[in-house]
Structure 1
Amino acid sequence: MSQHTGSQTIWISAEAEAATQGKSTQPWQATGISIDTRTIKQGDLFIAIKGDKMDGHQFVNEAFQKGAAAAMVSQPPSNAGGPLLVVGDTMKAMQDLGMAARFRSHATVIGITGSVGKTGTKEMLAVALSALGQTHASKGSFNNHWGVPYTLAAMHPGSDYGIFEMGMNHAHEITPLSKMVHPDIAIITTVAPVHIENFASEQGIADAKAEIFDGMDHNGTVLLPHDNKWFAHLKAAAMTRGVKVVSFGQHADADIRLVDCLEAANGSRIKAWVQGENVDFTLLIPGRHIAINALSVLGAVKISGGDMKKAVAALETIQPIAGRGKRELLDIGDPSNPVTLIDESYNASPVAMRAAFKVLALIDPGRGGRRIAILGDMLELGPNGPREHADLALPLQTAGVNLVYTCGTLMKTLHDALPANQQGEHRATSKELAEIVPDVLTPGDVVMVKGSHGSRMDIVVETLRALPGQKNSGKPANKKGGMDHAI
Structure 2
Amino acid sequence: MTINALYKLFLECSAVSTDTRKINPGDLFFALKGDNFNGNTFANKALELGAKYVVIDEKEFKTSNNHILVEDCLKALQDLATHHRKILKTPIIALTGSNGKTTTKELIKAVLSKKYRVSATKGNLNNHIGVPLTLLDIKPDTDIAIVEMGANHHKEIAFLCDIALPDFGLITNFGKAHLEGFGSLEGVVKAKSELYDHLKKHSKTIFFNEDDKTQVKQIGNYNKVIAFGANSKDTKISFVASEPFVALEYMSERINSHLIGHYNFNNIAVAIAIGKYFEVPHLNIKQAIEGYVSSNNRSQIIKTESNQILLDAYNANPTSMMAALENFTNLSYKNKTLILGDMFELGDNALNEHQHIVSFLEKQNDITAIVVGEHFSKTKTSSAKILALKTYADLANYLEKSPLKNRFILIKGSRGMALERALNIL
Q: Which TM-score band applies after superposition, normalised by the shorter structure?
A: 0.7 to 0.9
Asked if 1:221 corresponds to 2:189, the answer is: no
Higher helix share: 2
**Contact 1:48/1:73, CA 8 A, preserved across alignment:** yes
**Contact 2:362/2:383, CA 8 A, preserved across alignment:** no
The Cα shift of 1:394 comes to: 5.6
Report the Cα distance in structure 2 between the residues aligned to 1:202 and 1:435, rounded to whole angstroms.
37
Q: How many residues align?
A: 423
Q: Secondary structure at the match of 1:417?
A: coil
Give the match for residue 420 of structure 2: 461
Q: Secondary structure at the match of 1:353?
A: helix
Asked if 1:118 corresponds to 2:80, the answer is: no
Q: How does 1:80-229 map to 2 (within 5 A)?
A: 83-199=66-182, 201-216=184-199, 218-229=202-213
The Cα shift of 1:397 comes to: 5.9
1:261-281 CA-partner distances (Å, limit 9, x unpaired) = 22222x222103xxxx54532
Give the one of 328, 338, 350 matched to 2:306: 338
Report the Cα distance in structure 2 between the residues aligned to 1:54 and 1:279, rounded to whole angstroms.
54
Asked if 1:406 corresponds to 2:353, the answer is: no
Report the Cα distance in structure 2 between the residues aligned to 1:203 and 1:231, rounded to whole angstroms.
13
Asked if 1:353 corresponds to 2:321, the answer is: yes
1:418-471 CA-partner distances (Å, limit 9, x unpaired) = 611x122411x3344344334333333333322223xx221x322x3434xx8x
Report the Cα distance in structure 2 between the residues aligned to 1:223 and 1:127, rounded to whole angstroms.
17
Q: Identity percentage over the alignment?
A: 28
* Pairwise CA RMSD: 3.0
Report the Cα distance in structure 1 between the residues aligned to 2:254 and 2:114, rounded to whole angstroms.
18
Report the Cα distance in structure 2 between the residues aligned to 1:449 and 1:360, rounded to whole angstroms.
11
**Contact 1:37/1:59, CA 8 A, preserved across alignment:** yes
Give the match for residue 11 of structure 1: none
Give the match for residue 442 of structure 1: 404
Aligned AA for 2:159?
P
Report the Cα distance in structure 2 between the residues aligned to 1:324 and 1:46, rounded to whole angstroms.
32
Q: Secondary structure at the match of 1:230?
A: helix
**Contact 1:393/1:418, CA 8 A, preserved across alignment:** no
Give the match for residue 477 of structure 1: none
- Change in CA separation of 1:54 and 1:363 when aligned onto 2, cut-off 3 Å: farther
Report the Cα distance in structure 1 between the residues aligned to 2:53 and 2:280, rounded to whole angstroms.
37
The Cα shift of 1:285 comes to: 0.9
The Cα shift of 1:234 comes to: 0.8
Aligned AA for 1:245?
V
Report the Cα distance in structure 1 between the residues aligned to 2:310 and 2:154, rounded to whole angstroms.
33
Aligned AA for 1:433?
L
**Contact 2:239/2:265, CA 8 A, preserved across alignment:** no
- Change in CA separation of 1:149 and 1:27 when aligned onto 2, cut-off 3 Å: closer
Give the match for residue 292 of structure 2: 318
Aligned AA for 2:413?
G
Asked if 1:303 corresponds to 2:286, the answer is: no
Asked if 1:260 corresponds to 2:260, the answer is: no
Give the one of 368, 371, 381 matched to 2:336: 371
Asked if 1:433 corresponds to 2:399, the answer is: no
Give the one of 215, 224, 231 matched to 1:231: 215
The Cα shift of 1:201 comes to: 4.2
Normalised to the residue count of structure 1, the TM-score between the two structures is 0.78
**Contact 1:122/1:165, CA 8 A, preserved across alignment:** yes
Aligned AA for 2:76?
A
Q: Secondary structure at the match of 1:285?
A: strand
- Change in CA separation of 1:126 and 1:65 when aligned onto 2, cut-off 3 Å: farther
Aligned AA for 2:91?
T
Q: Secondary structure at the match of 1:271?
A: strand
The Cα shift of 1:398 comes to: 6.7
The Cα shift of 1:295 comes to: 0.9
Q: Which runs of 5+ in 1 are unaligned?
A: 1-16, 331-336, 471-487
1:231-270 CA-partner distances (Å, limit 9, x unpaired) = 232112x72xxx61233334x35643432322222x2221
- Change in CA separation of 1:37 and 1:448 when aligned onto 2, cut-off 3 Å: farther
Q: Secondary structure at the match of 2:293?
A: coil
Q: Which runs of 5+ in 2 are unaligned?
A: none
Q: Secondary structure at the match of 2:259?
A: coil
Give the one of 199, 223, 227 matched to 1:247: 227
Report the Cα distance in structure 1 between the residues aligned to 2:27 and 2:336, rounded to whole angstroms.
46
- Change in CA separation of 1:88 and 1:198 when aligned onto 2, cut-off 3 Å: closer
Normalised to the residue count of structure 2, the TM-score between the two structures is 0.88
